[in-house]
Structure 1
Amino acid sequence: MNTFGFIGMGNMGYAMLKGALNSFSKEDIIFTCPSSDRREKISEETGVRFAESNAECANNAKYIILAVKPQVYDVVLKNIHDIVTEESIVISLAPGITITDIKRKLGDNIRVVRAMPNTPALVGEGMTGISYNTAEFSFEERDIIEKFFNSFGKVVTVPENLMSGVVCASGSSPAYVYMFIEALADGAVKYGIPRKDAYKLVAQTVLGSAKMVLETGEHPGKLKDNVCSPGGTTIKGVAALEENGFRNALIKATDACFEACNGVKK
């Protein structure tokens, strides 16, 4: 039996599969998706075997990763309902779908890990928040779960009631970072920097700045202050960002994301 079975090969499933190959062999993994062309292409690229159906994939894996859109969860859960057992571990990636929701469909005896990864997993720099009842899992199973998520980045374990916050902090936010990179590069191009160089200058700066936060342990505000000389160019740029609602825009984006996760309508 394969260790991991991926149901779904969209951007997230593909990124996680590629990352998992850093720590597990291709023989440990099986996957499936609706498109036969995509199945064959990914299998040829990675050497990972594919299954013809969701049921076949689940039947050949202990850790079953549901890398599909929330709107098709009911169909997928129905496909695997008679396949999963007490030995199976279902890993759900869907925002807004709780562990209880999945147990209600598959059975209270089915063990579930709720996870929220992000697409930088594709380059080994993903950030994943996970939640599960550790009492239901052996030490070996917990080690494999940690190893799996660490194979494509970093992982933190949080109470399930904080998972919507994880979506806001790291699940959706790469899109905002890409928008920031694009906008700042546009500003550099405006003043004559070639676009290719502008993207490199900005993206590396974002990467380095993030590394400073993670490795120095300094508060982001302190690191910001270190760049802002009195009366200098940077503090004037910071003032312009504040004047135009930079922080507020990000907080409002987080609010909208959180509301969407929890089905809040206005």
Structure 2
Amino acid sequence: MELSVIGILFGISCIGSFIQRVSGFGFGIFVMTVLPYLLPSYGEATALSGMLAGSMSIVVFLRMRKYIVWKEVLPILGIFTVISFFAVGAVASLDGRFLRHVLGAILIIISIYFFFFSEKIKLKPTVFVQSIIGVIAGIMGGFFAMQGPPSVLYFLASCETKEKYIAHSQVYFALGNLMMTFFRAGNGFVTPMVGMAYGCGIFGVALGVFIGSKVFKKIPHKVLKKVVYVYMAISGIIALCA
């Protein structure tokens, strides 16, 4: 693996984990704008993103596990698991360039939604809403390794405190990415190249989590989120043009 690739893996893993530690989501969205261009296949890129994101989330949710109310997490996680199983299997038969274009369109739509409407639209944490969010998250997680955005809406609506929101979102990401890693391994996406890339990226994840935890209370969330959403839109345009 070239030194430049190692540096890129370290850098995007650090930034992605910092974003997720501060805002509760965003690792997959950020790194998947770059990983498909570094690894041999799109499936391997999703596998690496999920493994790195899962490792980060495990650490965070273990630290905040006392805030978890399992009955508010397990329904959406169960539906997500079933849908993502089939979505992961379908990735092998789809064209990587086509998926990047779809990913680009989704990034643009998500960025526009969060930038303009995230404070205006509210979701009630009902079983029906959990089911719909679980299906959408399963599709996005299986295809693009970015199951966060739809699930974040649910957790923001159902959690009364910031601590509970972070705990719920991170246990969801941790268990969801763990299961999808097994699914992807079964489909041949967890390769030696993914293992080597994981070994490089995990150090960036550790640094990003450390920095993110230190500045969590100091950086204005709205400012950070707006910057991320603009970057998401730009990355979506780049992916569409690739």
Greater fraction helix: 2
> Please, what TM-score do these two structures have when normalized by structure 1?
0.24
More strand by share: 1
Bigger radius of gyration, 1 or 2?
1
Instruction: Tell me which of the two structures has the higher relative contact order, counting C-alpha pairs closer than 8 angstroms and 6 or more residues apart.
Output: 2
- Using the size of structure 2 for normalisation, the TM-score is 0.26
